[in-house]
Amino acid sequence: MPAMTRKKLPIGIQTFAKIRENDAYYYVDKTPLALQMIDQGTHFFLSRPRRFGKSLFLDTLKELFEGNQALFKGLHAERHWDWSVKFPVLRFSFGGGVLGSAADLQQSLHFQLSRHEQHFALPAQFPDARSRFMDLIQRLAQSTGQRVVVLIDEYDKPILDRIEDSEKALEIREGLKDFYSVIKDSDAYIRFAFLTGVSKFSKVSLFSGLNNLQDITLDARYSAICGYADGDVDTVFAPELNGLDRNEIRRWYNGYNWLGESVYNPFDLLLLFDRRQFMPWWFETGTPTFLIKLLTLRQQFTPDLESLIAPEVLLSTFDVDNIPVEALLFQAGYLTVAKTHYFPGSLELQLRYPNLEVKTSLNRSLLDALCGSTFTPARSTSSMYRLLLANDLPGIHRQLHAFFASIPHDWHRNKPIAQYEGYWASVFYSYFAALGVDVVLEDATNHGRIDMAVQLNGHTWIFEFKVVELLPQGKALQQLQDKNYADKYRADSHVHLIGVEFSRDSRNIAGFETLTV
């Protein structure tokens, strides 16, 4: 049984030494994976979403290579690492602040290089960042007698900060490309190199031939290299579980997967344990405005986000002028791996929402964009939740009709997305997904596929969607009855069939027929 003594929650702490001093904070031991990686090779790349513990893991590697044994007392590395050898470490980070231009990037590089040169008492001999970096690596190796460890945190953040301004983003990318090329050219002097970031830019565009960089982003062995696994929650954080529904913790925050063990976002769990409330803690730290704009511009059919399918190569195809929606959603942490399909020479991934937090929060943001309003959806969805609990079918109809009527006419006229048929289904789906209720799409039965089913509090509402300009009215409910779609749910809940018919002319619900079976 784990000790039930409560410790401090390491909220926002990215410094390994601070967490380990006096054993005052909870810490999940990642040193077995660190040693496994170091034993496997010398040059690595890892992509993980923001606030996932990348910086802390990088700092753990720094302390490990620098030989600070006291910090690893009681951890796996204490008895499995050669503490007699110490390596010089050069760590660069682009996580703080926003670099608005190529000039800002150069200033940051020179500042960080100056700090390393002062620390190792090796004054700069060249004016440009690339030459200073290469010279520093070579002189460090010569003066210490050990190859150098290079750690780069948030390698891509300068580009992502300007991703909506392609000209500046490309200039920053070229500056980083020049700087990172030093890692390849200095290979003889490097013991270990590790780069982390949110996105995975193509090697051709950014790493300039750094073809010995092993990408462990989709490596089952390292799926849990950042984040907390279920076992960690039950052991390390056992003292924090009292009074919290363990299944709700899983439903809300577990589910991120990179082909191996699923994990929780650490930021979510730490805030949950601190505040004792189930809230979208991670999502609220950075609303994905660029992502929402891109999804709207490309007329993304939001129900498809439940189960996108993409080849693995597409998820690795990301650059300033080439941003596949699937890659952006996956790399940013809004979708994760559900299933894999192997074909000769290729891997196909089926994606899904990782958990309830991401599903509800992202759909709230999408609903705002689809309706051209921030406040109307929020007011409407809160009322809808109460109507569902009461199973007030006439009230549900009135609420939905009022909601669609509240979408500004000018928004319909000026937004191309509102002119296509999938828009109505997208709004309807995101509306219910934003409630945090169970939404099932395209559910297969032995008679066909259900458009959408919503489940809450022992009730199931089965929806069929039609457009009245394309089919006569009354067909939606009739199809639900003819195909006996209710049979699949009868045993577990009260079932309500709802035929919803939209009108493109009135921009609203033209038919709403219900039948409880």
Range of the domain at 179: 29-222
Its pTM stands at 0.90
Whether residue 415 sits in one domain with residue 318: no
Whether residue 305 sits in one domain with residue 336: yes
What residues contact 386, with CB distance under 8 A and at least 6 apart?
A: none
Whether residue 304 sits in one domain with residue 180: no
**For position 486, which CATH number holds?**
3.40.1350
Q: What pLDDT, on the 0 to 100 scale, is given for residue 323?
A: 83
Q: Do the Cβ atoms of 288 and 332 come closer than 8 Å? A: yes
Average pLDDT, the chain: 89
Say whether 13 sits in a helix, a strand or coil: coil
Residue 394 in any domain: the answer is yes
Residue 12 in any domain: the answer is no
Q: What is the pLDDT of residues 372-403, one digit of tens each?
A: 766 667 778 888 999 999 999 999 999 999 88
Residue 464 in any domain: the answer is yes
Q: Distance between CA atoms of 203 and 213, rounded to whole angstroms?
A: 9
Residue 362 in any domain: the answer is no
Whether residue 239 sits in one domain with residue 103: no
The percentage of the chain sitting over the pLDDT mark of 70, rounded to a whole number, equals 92
Q: Do the Cβ atoms of 92 and 153 come closer than 8 Å? A: yes
Q: What pLDDT, on the 0 to 100 scale, is given for residue 1?
A: 41
**For position 194, which CATH number holds?**
3.40.50
pLDDT above 50: residue 237 = yes
Q: What is the mean predicted confidence (pLDDT) over 120-144? A: 96
Residue 73 in any domain: the answer is yes
Whether residue 324 sits in one domain with residue 246: no
Whether residue 246 sits in one domain with residue 102: no
Q: For residues 275-303, b (16+ Cβ closer than 10 Å) or e, as one string? A: eeebebbbbeeeebeebbebbbeeebebb
Q: What pLDDT, on the 0 to 100 scale, is given for residue 5?
A: 86
Residue 13 in any domain: the answer is no
Whether residue 274 sits in one domain with residue 293: no
Whether residue 103 sits in one domain with residue 248: no
Q: What pLDDT, on the 0 to 100 scale, is given for residue 445?
A: 45
Whether residue 270 sits in one domain with residue 203: no
Q: What is the mean predicted confidence (pLDDT) over 453-480? A: 84
Q: What is the pLDDT of residues 225-234, one digit of tens each?
A: 999 999 999 9
Q: What is the pLDDT of residues 148-198, one digit of tens each?
A: 999 999 999 999 888 888 999 999 999 999 999 999 899 999 999 999 999
pLDDT above 50: residue 2 = no
Q: What pLDDT, on the 0 to 100 scale, is given for residue 211?
A: 64
Q: What pLDDT, on the 0 to 100 scale, is given for residue 322?
A: 81
Residue 341 in any domain: the answer is yes
Count of domains observed in the chain:
4
Q: What is the pLDDT of residues 280-304, one digit of tens each?
A: 999 988 767 788 888 888 888 888 8
Whether residue 510 sits in one domain with residue 405: yes
Strands 508-516 and 494-503: antiparallel
Residue ending a domain, among 222, 248, 264, is 222
Q: What pLDDT, on the 0 to 100 scale, is given for residue 472?
A: 64
Whether residue 167 sits in one domain with residue 270: no
Per residue, what are the HEC states of 259-312? CCCCEECHHHHHHHHHHCCCCCCCHHHCCCHHHHHHHHHCCCCHHHHHCCEEEH
Write down the residue that tokens 């309807």 correspond to: 428
pLDDT above 70: residue 418 = no
Whether residue 118 sits in one domain with residue 67: yes
Cα 490 to the center of its chain, rounded Å: 36
Q: Do the Cβ atoms of 256 and 263 come closer than 8 Å? A: yes
Q: What pLDDT, on the 0 to 100 scale, is given for residue 447?
A: 47
Residue 4 in any domain: the answer is no
Q: Do the Cβ atoms of 264 and 282 come closer than 8 Å? A: no
Select the highest-mean-pLDDT range: 254-263, 288-297, 438-447, 504-513. Answer: 254-263
Give me the half-sphere count of Cα atoms (radius 13 Å) on the Cβ side of residue 17: 8
